[in-house]
A and B are shown apart, each in its own frame.
Chain A
Amino acid sequence: MTTLQTRPDTTETAAAAVPSVSAGQVFRDAVASEWMKVRTLRSTYAFFIAGVGAFLLGMFILFMLIQSFDAAPPENQSNYETADPTVVVMPFVMFFIGAIGGMLITSEFTTRSIGPGLLAVPQRRTLLAAKATVVGAIGLFGGLLFALLSFSGATLLLGDRPAPLNPWPNPTDALPTVFCAAALVMITCIVTLGLGTVLRSTASTLTTLGGLVLVAPVFAHFLPTTWQLRFGSILLPNLTPQIVGANHPWMLSQAGAVAVAIGYAVVALGVAAFAFKRRDAS
């Protein structure tokens, strides 16, 4: 143990001695701190590895589908569904990368480290905006990484096989879908951050996220067709084909799908900001 090193000057006037900083600098420092927090959470890497697992599983399923396609008689090959990784891989990527976004705040509530976090950055909207910035960046770049990997893997596996199994006979046709899928992972991350801020519980947040991106699309299939299309059209995993204008059964226009996607983020952050500001912390 060391003894206390006292400083020579007394500090009731220390407040005056602290250099004033701009609101922008406070925000940049908060973003840097949140980035450090997310890098030092073990769950970040666990969910990222789970995303890799989902990608590998998706590629395996596509491989099996292609094997089945190749073994099928030519007259049956036109009945095969498209080998679109948006359907197989990206909902799981949305869940696992989205979970990283939720964990950035729920881990603080569950471990009570939200207290020191707010003592360091007491402007709650600034803190939430910093978290949203970091979470959004992770979602965008994580989504882009997995989308590129998935589409590259699918393109390699599909080779020169024809449509409808191969949705992109020309690989560059896949780029809008790749970027749109990445953007939707970013929005999912922000939505999960909002959920986590309101629910303050990791279990509740991940359950809700799973319901939103994994269970609800399956549930929609059990609805009457009209309601299936209405309900399914506004689900996050189904927005990608509607935004890029691909061939799909859903009901939204491209602009409508973009508006719904933005609406998810705006509503999630708005409700989160309101709750975070109003409620006592810890």
Chain B
Amino acid sequence: MIVVKELTKRYGSTLALDNLSFEVRPGVVTGFLGPNGAGKSTTLRIILGLHEATSGEALIGNRRYDRIRRPLHEVGAVLDADAAHPGRTAFQHLACLARSNGIGKSRVTAVLEQVGLASVVHKRVGGFSLGMRQRLGIAGALLGDPAVILLDEPVNGLDAVGIRWIRGTLRALAAEGRTVLLSSHLMSEMALTVDHVLIVGRGRLLEETSMTAMRDRFERDVLVRSPRADELAPILTGLGATVTRTEDDGLVAVGVDAPTIGDAAAAASIPIHGLTPRSASLEDVYLEMTSDAVEYRAATERTA
């Protein structure tokens, strides 16, 4: 369990985190979502003791990270795929980390195999692609078989196979009862990976919800196709829906769900040729929610 309480962080006059509070539960993949500059990386760095909060606290298992004596056994994290010395081999990089936590070399070999880097164990990290370095970072996070896993933008640089692999890996880790928190600025990626989502903007928590609830909440309308649309429209209006006609003789009903429309049409013996619930894409929803929290924006985006 990760608990963040009223976290505030200032860098000079810049307020990076503004009284941010949330909890991350075990057993689900939690997404930490927000535009660039929203405070995601800062939050993860404070949780992991790399940055000091101006006020508030972040606890993992009721302890500050820097109070844990062998943290790799309890928490695994990847904050930066490039955070490895390019002159060391993959094995050497992990062995140095493992040795500091009393983890043996056989475990280093095992996690390198686990992330698919077995064939480049003795290759220098400087020659790795970004995707390979991401995998190496994840191998480091898994070294101590930890109960809590935090990943900052883990799919950056991964190809389609790698992205699918990391999705499966994270879901499997959560299914084992681990606490998994990953950050991203890409809603499309989160939609396929996480169960629960925390949306932040300008250092504040904008929304905390399950991915399913988020999808349901932003369902917009139902597109109805029927050869007797003229007869169906007043029936739907009678059910409390707002109905408008499309150019191709379809109906768009707002305020009534698809099963209700189907039942009403069947009761009136009106044939239905198409019934399509339409929702805003999660990407649209996310952009709508964070529109006021985007720190940097091109001139063309402002006028769009």
For B80, list chain A residues within 8 Å (CB): 112, 115, 282
Query: A276 to nearest B CB, angstroms?
Result: 12
Are B99 and A32 within 8 A (Cβ)?
yes
Known A29-B102, A282-B80; contact A14-B147, beta-carbon cutoff 8 A? yes
Known A2-B113, A37-B96; contact A7-B145, beta-carbon cutoff 8 A? yes
Known A21-B70, A120-B72; contact A33-B99, beta-carbon cutoff 8 A? yes
Known A18-B70, A32-B100; contact A10-B87, beta-carbon cutoff 8 A? no
For B82, list chain A residues within 8 Å (CB): 111-112
Residues of chain A from 40 to 97 with CB closer than 8 A to chain B in the complex: 40-43
For B73, list chain A residues within 8 Å (CB): 14, 18
Are A11 and B146 within 8 A (Cβ)?
yes
Are B69 and A23 within 8 A (Cβ)?
yes
Interface centre among B85, B87, B161, B173 (most CB of A within 10 A): B85
Known A11-B177, A36-B95; contact A118-B100, beta-carbon cutoff 8 A? no
- Is residue A119 contacting chain B, with contact meaning CB distance below 8 A? yes
For A118, list chain B residues within 8 Å (CB): 49-50
Residues of chain B from 156 to 204 with CB closer than 8 A to chain A in the complex: 161, 165, 168-169, 172-173, 175-179
Flag A1-35 by CB within 8 Å of B: 1 or 0 each: 11111110111111100101101011001101100
Flag A105-128 by CB within 8 Å of B: 1 or 0 each: 001100111111111111110000
Residues of chain B from 65 to 98 with CB closer than 8 A to chain A in the complex: 65-66, 68-75, 77, 79-80, 82-89, 92-93, 95-97
Are B168 and A4 within 8 A (Cβ)?
yes
Query: A38 to nearest B CB, angstroms?
Result: 10
Query: A223 to nearest B CB, angstroms?
Result: 41
CA distance A201 to B93 in the complex (A): 21
The 8 Å CB contact of A12, one of B88, B99, B118, B147, is B147
For A124, list chain B residues within 8 Å (CB): 66
* Chain B: CB-nearest residue to A14: B147
For A5, list chain B residues within 8 Å (CB): 114
The 8 Å CB contact of B84, one of A7, A21, A113, A281, is A113
- Is residue B281 contacting chain A, with contact meaning CB distance below 8 A? no
- Is residue B107 contacting chain A, with contact meaning CB distance below 8 A? no
CA distance A166 to B115 in the complex (A): 63
For A108, list chain B residues within 8 Å (CB): 85
Are A113 and B177 within 8 A (Cβ)?
no
Are A119 and B72 within 8 A (Cβ)?
yes
The 8 Å CB contact of B145, one of A11, A40, A119, is A11
For B89, list chain A residues within 8 Å (CB): 40
- Is residue B37 contacting chain A, with contact meaning CB distance below 8 A? no
Counting chain A residues whose Cβ lies within 8 A of the other chain, the interface size class is 35 or more
Flag B126-151 by CB within 8 Å of A: 1 or 0 each: 00000000000000100001110000
For B48, list chain A residues within 8 Å (CB): 119, 122
Known A1-B116, A14-B146, A115-B79; contact A120-B68, beta-carbon cutoff 8 A? no
- Is residue A173 contacting chain B, with contact meaning CB distance below 8 A? no
* Chain B: CB-nearest residue to A30: B100
Query: B62 to nearest A CB, angstroms?
Result: 9
For A114, list chain B residues within 8 Å (CB): 83
CA distance A114 to B83 in the complex (A): 8
For A11, list chain B residues within 8 Å (CB): 145-147, 176-178
For B145, list chain A residues within 8 Å (CB): 7, 11, 14
CA distance A117 to B66 in the complex (A): 12
Are A1 and B165 within 8 A (Cβ)?
yes
For A119, list chain B residues within 8 Å (CB): 48, 50, 71-72, 75, 77, 79, 97
Known A32-B99, A121-B100, A123-B66; contact A12-B83, beta-carbon cutoff 8 A? no
A12-B1, A14-B73 given; 20 more Cβ-contact pairs under 8 Å:
A4-B169, A9-B176, A10-B178, A11-B147, A11-B177, A12-B27, A14-B74, A14-B146, A23-B69, A29-B70, A29-B101, A29-B102, A33-B99, A40-B88, A41-B88, A42-B87, A111-B83, A112-B83, A116-B97, A282-B50
Q: Which residues of A contact B (CB under 8 A)?
A: 1-7, 9-15, 18, 20-21, 23, 25-26, 29-30, 32-33, 36-37, 40-43, 107-108, 111-124, 278, 280-282
Give me the 4 closest cross-chain CB pairs, A-B, nearest first: A10-B177, A1-B116, A33-B100, A14-B147
7 pairs, CB–CB < 8 Å, chain A vs chain B: A7-B176, A11-B145, A11-B146, A15-B74, A25-B102, A108-B85, A116-B83
